[in-house]
């Protein structure tokens, strides 16, 4: 099993408060600052959608995806985009 790198934090993620700064502020009687939530929520590139297929259709989708070297989701996205009106 390979050791993976620690995931990088998203740039808009709030920074962790410094515990020593908190303790020093408490000794001076200062109020602790409350971390602010990001002003805009993180935007997803794609919205998840649930589609239900019967077993036979799902097998056909999986075979077509494997034949093209695509994932099931990629094939479904590609087919939908191809058949949308311009």
In the numeric block, the tokens 């390979």 are attached to 2
pLDDT at residue 45, rounded to an integer: 79
Query: Is residue 73 one of the residues assigned to a domain?
Result: yes
Range of the domain at 64: 49-86
Q: Taking Cα atoms as reference points, which of 75, 73, 81, 68 lies closest to residue 50?
A: 73
Query: Is residue 84 one of the residues assigned to a domain?
Result: yes
Query: Is residue 42 one of the residues assigned to a domain?
Result: no
- Tens-binned pLDDT, residue by residue, of the chain (86 aa): 678 787 776 666 666 777 787 777 776 766 666 556 556 666 667 888 999 999 999 999 999 999 999 999 999 999 999 999 98
State the pTM of this model.
0.48
In this structure, what token pair is assigned to residue 53? 């297929």
């Amino acid at each position: 099993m390979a050791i993976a790198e620690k995931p990088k934090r998203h740039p808009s993620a709030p920074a962790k408060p410094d515990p020593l700064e908190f303790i020093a502020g408490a000794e001076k009687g200062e109020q602790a600052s409350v971390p602010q939530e990001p002003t805009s929520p993180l935007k997803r590139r794609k919205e998840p959608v649930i589609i239900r297929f019967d077993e036979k259709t799902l097998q056909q989708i999986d075979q077509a995806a494997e034949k093209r070297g695509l994932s099931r989701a990629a094939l479904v996205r590609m087919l939908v985009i191809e058949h949308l009106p311009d």
